[in-house]
Amino acid sequence: MSLITQLIDGLSLGSVYAVIALGYTMVYGIAKMLNFAHGDVIMVGGYICYEIMVSAGMPSILGILAAMVVCTVLGITIERFAYKPLRKAGSLAVLITAIGVSYFLQNAAMLIFGSETKTFTSVVPSFALAIKDLSISGLTLVTIVVSVVIMIALTLFIKKSKIGKAMRAVSEDKDAAELMGINVNSTISVTFAIGSALAAIAGVLLCSTSKGIMPTTGSMPGIKAFTAAVFGGIGSIPGAMVGGLLLGVIETLSKAYISYELTDAIVFAILIVVLLVRPTGLFGKKINEKV
């Protein structure tokens, strides 16, 4: 395969990472916590779409919508019952809870859907775009377009909309936001809802690419996207996007030209180097520790 094809595949993978990383970074920005269960929400989204589309034979668009609705509710529920009671607890307690939620979701999926890999059919009809001797699959194209649209829409939402501004206010100073009349709890819920709906879309796109789904499907992409978020500067929206895209491209190129087996090691080595040089990530702001 040519370098251009590799780059396009990398961008496609990277844009999915970016969409997932947005969920991590938004939740971190507003709730100051790492939601390690975020990756498993991806998996749930994949299964819901699978059940509607493959098992029930309904149109793929219904599968995607159902996945988004279920994941949104799931995200709000996780926040409400697992994280909200710990709002004032130490970060270690929250971290352990998040890991617990992650295992809970994986085990629940194992019980409900079984532990074997199921064959996922792509939500995008198979077609290919050919430009000269370059051929881009429909799925790759749709993945990139959808992700870019999500990134632009989310950026505008956070910059311009009333709720988006409230989210920024809450992420800066919860008490001050509360004094403005902003309902901090519901703003945090909205953030989890948006992040989880995005995770559902990412899950469907990822399963369409990998053509399979199992209960641990979300783990690796989750960790990669988390890496991307840290890479870009956790808490930063543009950082999550750039971090995700870069990670996808690096991973794809490294698989193609360096070593398939060593790729993950390479990706994490790059992360370590970036963090050594810029501890706050590419776009990270200096963190003013407030007590």
Partner 1 sequence: MLKVENANVYYGKIHALKDISLEVNEGEIVALIGANGAGKSTTLKTISGLLRSKTGSIVLFDENISHTEAHKLVSKGMAHVPEGRRIFLQMTVLENLQMGAYTTKASEVDALIEDVFERFPRLKHRKNQIAGTLSGGEQQMLAMGRALMSKPKLLMLDEPSMGLAPILVKQIFDIIKELHAAGTTILLVEQNAEMALKVADRAYVLESGRIVLSGTGKELAQSDAIKKAYLGG
Where on the chain is the footprint of partner 1 (CB under 8 A)? 162, 165-166, 168-169, 172-173, 175-184, 285
**Nearest approach, Cβ of residue 193 and partner 1 (Å):** 19
Name the residue with tokens 């529920």: 77
**Nearest approach, Cβ of residue 248 and partner 1 (Å):** 28
**Nearest approach, Cβ of residue 226 and partner 1 (Å):** 23
Name the residue with tokens 């902003």: 182
Name the 3-class secondary structure at 212: strand
SS3 content of the chain, % helix, strand, coil (to 5): 75, 5, 20
CB 247 within 8 A of CB 14: yes
CA dist 59 and 61 (Å) reads: 6
Q: CB-wise, 10 or 281, nearer to partner 1? A: 281
- The DSSP output letter for 216 is T
**Nearest approach, Cβ of residue 58 and partner 1 (Å):** 41
**Nearest approach, Cβ of residue 105 and partner 1 (Å):** 31
CB 258 within 8 A of CB 208: no
Name the residue with tokens 């193609």: 256
CA dist 77 and 83 (Å) reads: 9
**Nearest approach, Cβ of residue 239 and partner 1 (Å):** 14
Q: CB-wise, 107 or 161, nearer to partner 1? A: 161
Q: CB-wise, 87 or 219, nearer to partner 1? A: 87
Q: CB-wise, 211 or 285, nearer to partner 1? A: 285
Helix (H) or strand (E) segment spanning residue 72: helix 60-78
**Nearest approach, Cβ of residue 181 and partner 1 (Å):** 3
* Residue 71: burial class (beta carbons within 10 Å; 0-12, 13-18, 19+): buried
CA dist 130 and 195 (Å) reads: 34
Q: CB-wise, 130 or 179, nearer to partner 1? A: 179
Q: CB-wise, 132 or 160, nearer to partner 1? A: 160
Q: CB-wise, 125 or 181, nearer to partner 1? A: 181
CB 12 within 8 A of CB 140: yes
Angle value at C-alpha 180, between 177 and 181, nearest 5 degrees: 100
